[in-house]
Structure 1
């Protein structure tokens, strides 16, 4: 196991670009966040808020500040009601439904909204940014229902819960416990925040939820490509397969970079650097022979998914934007989450294919017609106990069910735009639904990976019990030894739920360092 790293320095937010890895580190509690004390940065934020005040004095009309929202933009708000308009915005959007976001996802949402507002063109105050940092510092996080966003005008309904919590309303998760926000703030001597004229809109009118979920999905997907590669190597070894299907010259003839990288990892795992003149076994089945082609699609997609997500992460995506430098208000549609939607729709399709690949490998491992002499269902029971034991039979059924569900969920969400809000929002992205779908697909793929990993390690050990078996390559031996520190072999039948849940947790935690970048 990789030794724990030293606690990294806090992530300092000053309007500079951050990475998906930064988001994941903060979301998973490995890194704190601080707002830059740099006077230039703080002055830039303050200028936006000051320019907005100037506009109100000189022009008297600013969308979402002196007007209603959306199709109500032509409805003037009386001057005496301007200060209460942000409260009305988060109040009427308090209609979220469904399960609530997990704590790691909620931390990511708060951070992503902060990063956008730190760009300095949203017309917010430094004090608002400090309040958002406070939530992360104290781990007091809004309870956010995950359903209710169409992905334009941004994630309005889920982000209303963030705005409300700052103002002492609704509920928070306070260091793991659910309680009223007002209690959590009062206990720490913090007065509920009073949103300034555009701050409700700036908090809610953006893509923070879909982007935060996308960052977490990306990290899980990137690890799964490596894990699927290692599981494939274990499966090939357990099946006494042909390690030379991954020859370097063969893959130079079809040089998709990610595909080439996967083949190289498999060669190293299987210790197959030089292909003989003719292989003893000509054709393995596609789920092992074509594994680089399946996993490679995901590997080759990771760079452009990262580009889409990091561009969105580091963008100002509310409306309108307040450009104090050039003295203008810019009305547009940056809240539209189309890039996130497309990235998540394609990610869930490519990742579901990993489940399909690993499920087929598991089917080969348990079937005596295809596993080249391994026991039926990879049972580790003694010969006299084999009639009573069924090994991985039910696990393979479960993996097939999880795979089918993952594949069923690959229907793209982005094509289901609905006209909403009196046809003001008449073309929407569905980016948040796509991101939620992607996370569900990833959970199912991790379950299939857990099942196939469990079985493949068992298969490698059973193969080594055969008198004519070739020695297991060193890298695979080391991995199986490390795996056995967590999970025992399957001898007599046992209920496997606990093992599989434990493995899914380890996969989510990226327990094993697999390949160098």
Structure 2
């Protein structure tokens, strides 16, 4: 994936609020970033930088500008060395490990940090904002290690890699390869920055990494909830289940709006506002009957998760805050990522429950004791070859493995605060760890989903063979036809990994349009 083309939708950064969708569009290179050229905006940014310069000239004491960092805030920096301080900050924080953020995640980080600095209360220069804009415009992506942040004082270590790249140091991903940052900047006629006082702190002392990851996690989780609903509809039909479990009157007496919305989607997929009751079986097992109650938890959580994430996205979250209007320097703790930590710990629980729900549905559909007439393991082999073939037996094992790993990761990260940095950072958010956990759970749940898409393709076809033609709603018929084109019916045993990876790519590209009710 490369940068967004010049004619792509512009996302204007001028200090006004952005939405999760804006971050996702830039991350996926579907939109480009345009930093405002409005004179009033530029004057507001420059006023903060000028105020910091004046404070230094007047020998004002400003944390991280004329003092050391963290516990070293009582150490005064000689005026002749103040200009070197930002370099030292990103230099000694260059100790990140783990995987590198991928291009989508990195673009999101750059935009989120730019949005925060564009609030105009960080005391940075317009040149710094334009250099961040240039990284996005040319897709010069810092190689950011994912591990090493406790989420307060913000994402110091991972964001040090952004600061270093702005200054022409460390490495970037550009034009399909890793190269020195200085080389990539030179390719586009860009000069390395020399950070002004406060600018190193302003770049690093914030929540951009956790917030960027949270934006991406929210979008993927929203799509997974919709897919889990569609898959449930397939499994109700494949197992000859009871559509009346999703009756409108039934759900009117329990007024969780998201849960009601999931039930309505299932009614639409099953093509009946008042579906007939299955007289052969009064109640299905919980993984089918209670699907709206499971998926509905995520559906109801998404709006308040959005609020927390977008409030953080549109905040100034470094320290200190520079109020150039009233000429005040305000020392606080806006770098603390507690809201993102709580949001991501909550999201990962709701998403892991989707994996668990679908894993249980699959276990029912592949088991001949519970699938009401379908062949064991959904094998389509017939005659003497039926004994030789094993259908989706191993796929169900893999889905359970992915589910178990997702459930294992639901332990809240935010409760594992560690006292760090000479007990200056003695209560920290762990928000970045929570966000990474959420993304890993989403990865695993997407793998469960693609196993269930194969199950849906197989199960619907076999139910038609057993019971005759099914009356599928247009939405289900269209998606099943698409799945059938992607995954041939499993008759003889074969490896499914290539097809699963193809489906995984389709899920992450949001290939199927799912529900227009919200």
TM-score by length of 2: 0.97
Secondary structure of 2:74 counterpart: coil
Q: Which residue of 2 aligns with 1:460?
A: 460
| CA distance, structure 1, for counterparts of residue 310 and residue 299 of structure 2 | 17
1:122 matched to 2:125 = no
Partner of residue 283, structure 2: 283
- In 1, the alpha carbon distance for the partners of 2:490 and 2:7 equals 38
Question: How far apart, in 1, do the equivalents of 2:279 and 2:325 lie?
Answer: 68
Q: What does residue range 394-405 of structure 1 map to in structure 2 within 5 Å?
A: 394-405=394-405
Contact 2:349 2:410 in 1 (8 A): yes
CA contact (8 A) 1:86 1:197 kept: yes
CA distance in 2, matches of 1:223, 1:87: 42
1:79-118 matches, within 5 Å, as: 79-118=79-118
Secondary structure of 2:114 counterpart? helix
Residue 470 (structure 1) shift: 4.2
CA positional deviation for 1:273: 1.2
**Superimposed CA distance per residue, residues 127-147 of structure 1 (whole angstroms, 9 cap, x where no aligned partner):** 100000000000011000000
**Equivalent pair of 1:464/1:471 in contact (CA under 8 Å):** no
**Helix, strand or coil: the match of 2:104?**
helix
Determine the structure 1 residue equivalent to 2:224: 224
The answer to whether structure 1 residue 146 and structure 2 residue 146 are counterparts is yes
2:387 is equivalent to residue 387 of structure 1: yes
1:103-144 deviation per Cα after TM superposition (whole angstroms, max 9, x unaligned): 100000000000000000000011100000000000011000
Moved over 6 A (4+): none
Q: Deviation per CA, 1:238-295: give whole Å up to 9, x if none.
A: 0010111000000001110000000000001011211447844311010000000000
Residues 305 and 64 (structure 1), Cα distance of their counterparts in 2 relative to 1, 3 Å cut: same
SS class of match (1:11):
strand
Partner-residue secondary structure (3-state), 2:98: strand
Deviations 1:314-368 (A, max 9, x none): 0000000100111100100000000000000010011100000000011011100
Distance 2:14 2:422 in 1: 38
C-alpha separation in 2, matches of 1:115 and 1:485: 43
- The 1:86–1:463 alpha-carbon spacing in structure 2 relative to 1, beyond 3 Å, is same
Contact 1:239-1:365 within 8 A present in 2 as well: yes
Q: Which residue of 2 aligns with 1:162?
A: 162
RMSD, aligned CA = 1.4
Query: What is the CA–CA distance in structure 2 between the aligned matches of 1:506 and 1:276, rounded to whole Å?
Result: 34
Counterparts of 1:259 and 1:289, CA distance in 2: 13
Distance 1:300 1:383 in 2: 48
State yes or no: 1:212 paired with 2:212. Answer: yes
Distance in 2 (alpha carbons) for counterparts of 1:317 and 1:228: 36
CA offset at residue 411 of structure 1? 0.3
Taking the aligned partners of 1:474 and 1:287, their CA distance within structure 2 comes to 24
- Which SS does the other structure have where 1:110 is aligned? helix
Distance 2:252 2:443 in 1: 34
2:453 and 2:483 in contact (8 A); partners too: no
Distance in 1 of aligned mates of 2:327 and 2:450:
56
* 1:196–1:280 distance in 2 versus 1, CA, 3 Å: same
Question: Is 1:70 matched up with 2:73?
Answer: no
Q: How far does the alpha carbon of each residue in 1:128-185 deviate from its partner, in whole angstroms, 9 at most, with x for none?
A: 0000000000001100000000000000000000000011110000032111111112
Matched, 1:378 2:378: yes
1:305 aligned partner: 305
Aligned to 2:474: 474
> Are positions 1:254 and 2:254 aligned together?
yes
In 2, are the aligned partners of 1:244 and 1:279 still within 8 Å (CA)? no
Partner residue, 1:3:
none
Q: Distance in 2 between matches of 1:328 and 1:487?
A: 63
Deviation sequence 1:57-86 (CA, Å, 0-9, x none): 224321101100001011011111111100
Give the Cα–Cα distance (whole angstroms) in 2 for the partners of residues 391 and 325 of structure 1. Answer: 70
Q: Show the counterpart of 2:432.
A: 432
Q: Distance in 2 between matches of 1:82 and 1:485?
A: 64
Deviation of 1:53 after TM superposition, in Å, equals 1.2
Offset, 1:35: 0.7
The 1-side partners of 2:136 and 2:232 are apart by: 40
Structure 1 unmatched ranges of 5 or more = 1-5
Structure 2 unpaired stretches of 5+? 1-5
2:185 match: 185
Partner of 2:54: 54
Please give the alpha-carbon distance, in whole angstroms, between the structure 2 residues aligned to 1:474 and 1:130. 49
Q: Counterpart of 2:509? A: 509
Report the Cα offset of residue 486 of structure 1: 2.5
Q: Deviations over 1:201-230 (max 9, x none)?
A: 000000000000000000000000000000
Q: 1:478 Cα deviation (Å)?
A: 1.5
Distance 1:361 1:456 in 2: 11
**Structure 1-normalised TM-score?**
0.97
